[in-house]
């Protein structure tokens, strides 16, 4: 029942037409797409979301149509819009590179835009060229020979492919609260949720950095309607959204603490004004005296006979801003190796190198895990996952996890993830952008490019099937 009640990605048909000079400079780009949706819904699969700003092109047209069908509802499956859209446009760029006999990385470098040409705005931070450079170096791209089937290892035919990727960077509205307690601990709370993306750890890190409370002494409360309203887990925007709210809440709690420090009888700061005090590393001190005579905030609260002080903070949304000053996105690229055994028609993804420009990464371990998981989803998108509908009823035929095939451990190769560290201060004070869905963008195009390099077959329909390669 889950296959019909929770929604799924829309089926799309896309057509990309590129015009370019012999040197590889794009002169025109046309992206047309049709997607299906149910008779009752108004879901929009925005495949053209990234088309207008990913590369520089003077003549652009993006158009779409909808096909209403008697099927279950389509929804924003992870990586909606840009993910299927980039499969088409990045695949087209790879086919153009082959026809022009230009390295696909070089083709993208040639067409790197200086601004967002759709909006006529500067990018808040765009370091896609650095991603290409680092990814090519880590993957060993310079050793690639472009001829189909020309690379071998251990009796296997190798295929090397690549693609670029992008995802929106923005903030949803968010609120948070921070408590400083008389036992030296802190509590940070927000009504958002952790769906396995590391939100608990991120909020603890933010509160710890602002208050000086050790990470293991910070309590995080999430996922309850009684908590300050938090962002939804969508669009890869939770982290970017909560940073300003938590920082504002911490500043508010610290301001309350300094007021308490000057008002409590017997306090060493009793005759001071709050403006004369400073807070650093969990301690209160007089600015003029420096931190040498600092007092732990827990001592200040106990002397005031208070269990805790609380601060609240909020941040405004930037998502949907009708008059933005910058174009805000994350960028990246994937380099993929596949192995092909024509004797037994065996195709495997054997190696992936991914480089992301996603602002400042607050938790590199969790961040890398996010991208790895998205790449695994991309392997499923490219090689395994497909829904078949009963033409009589519109119901999915393979509506179970035996017939709907997803990637498992045996399908997953070593995935080498790197981040280029360029904080984006237009998003928040730390320069952190959300990640997760961007790891799924572009990976299918890189895989099918590698499949072509190994087999000579351009597969334009996902997932890649053995019959495509043996036809």
Order the strands of the 60-69 sheet from edge to edge.
12-20, 26-38, 60-69
d(C-alpha 220, C-alpha 202), whole Å: 10
Strand partners for 164: 333
3-state secondary structure 35-82: EEEECCCCCCCCCCCCHHHHCCCCCEEEEEEEEEECCCCECCCCCCCH
d(C-alpha 258, C-alpha 245), whole Å: 20
CA 436 to chain centre: 4
Residues annotated as catalytic (active site), given as ranges: 437
For residue 91, cis peptide bond before it (omega within 30 degrees of 0): no
149 three-class SS? coil
Nearest alpha carbon to residue 293 among 305, 301, 285, 282: 285
Angle among Cα 88, 415, 49 to the nearest 5 degrees reads: 25
Asked whether the CA dihedral 137, 86, 62, 33 is positive or negative, the reply is: positive
Buried b / exposed e over 391-421, threshold 16 CB at 10 Å, is: eeeeebeebeeeebeebeeeebbebbbbbbe
Order the strands of the 295-296 sheet from edge to edge.
277-280, 283-286, 295-296
């Amino acid at each position: 029942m889950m296959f019909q009640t929770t929604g799924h990605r829309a089926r799309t048909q896309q057509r990309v037409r590129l015009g370019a000079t012999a040197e590889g400079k794009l002169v025109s780009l046309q992206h047309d797409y049709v997607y299906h949706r149910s008779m009752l819904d108004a879901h929009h699969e925005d495949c053209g979301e990234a088309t207008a700003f990913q590369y520089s092109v003077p003549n652009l047209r993006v158009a779409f149509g909808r096909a209403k069908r008697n099927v279950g509802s389509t929804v924003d499956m992870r990586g909606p819009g840009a993910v299927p859209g980039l499969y088409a446009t990045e695949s087209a760029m790879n086919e153009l590179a082959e026809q022009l006999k230009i390295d696909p990385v070089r083709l993208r470098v040639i067409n790197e835009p200086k601004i967002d040409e759709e909006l006529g705005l500067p990018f808040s931070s765009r370091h896609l060229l650095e991603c290409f450079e680092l990814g090519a170096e880590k993957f060993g791209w310079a050793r690639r020979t472009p001829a189909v089937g020309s690379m071998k290892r251990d009796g296997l035919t190798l295929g090397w492919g690549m693609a670029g990727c992008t995802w929106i960077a923005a903030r949803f509205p968010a609120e948070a609260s921070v408590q400083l307690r008389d036992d030296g601990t802190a509590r940070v709370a927000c009504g958002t949720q952790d769906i396995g993306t590391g939100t608990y750890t991120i909020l603890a890190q933010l509160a710890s950095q602002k208050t000086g409370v050790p990470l293991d002494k910070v309590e995080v409360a999430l996922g309850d309607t009684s908590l300050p309203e938090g962002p939804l887990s969508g669009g890869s925007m939770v982290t970017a959204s909560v940073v300003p709210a938590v920082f504002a809440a911490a500043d508010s709690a610290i301001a309350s603490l300094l007021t308490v420090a000057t008002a409590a009888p017997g306090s060493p700061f009793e005759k001071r004004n709050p403006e004369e005090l400073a807070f650093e590393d969990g301690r209160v001190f007089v600015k003029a005296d420096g931190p040498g005579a600092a007092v732990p905030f827990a001592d200040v609260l106990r002397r005031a006979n208070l269990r805790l002080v609380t601060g609240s903070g909020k941040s405004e949304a930037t998502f949907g801003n009708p008059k933005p000053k910058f174009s805000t996105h994350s960028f990246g690229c994937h380099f993929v190796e596949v192995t092909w055994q024509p004797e037994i028609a065996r195709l495997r993804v054997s190696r992936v190198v991914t480089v992301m420009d996603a602002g400042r990464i607050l938790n590199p371990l969790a961040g890398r895990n996010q991208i790895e998981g998205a790449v695994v989803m991309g392997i499923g998108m490219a090689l395994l996952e497909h829904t078949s509908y009963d033409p009589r009823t519109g119901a999915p035929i393979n509506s179970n996890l035996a017939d709907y095939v997803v990637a498992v451990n045996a399908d997953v190769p070593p995935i080498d993830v790197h981040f280029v560290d360029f904080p984006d201060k237009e998003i928040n004070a730390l320069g952190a952008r959300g990640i997760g869905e961007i790891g799924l963008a572009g990976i299918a195009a890189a895989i099918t490019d590698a499949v072509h390099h190994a087999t000579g077959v351009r597969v334009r329909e996902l997932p890649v099937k053995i019959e495509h390669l043996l036809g």
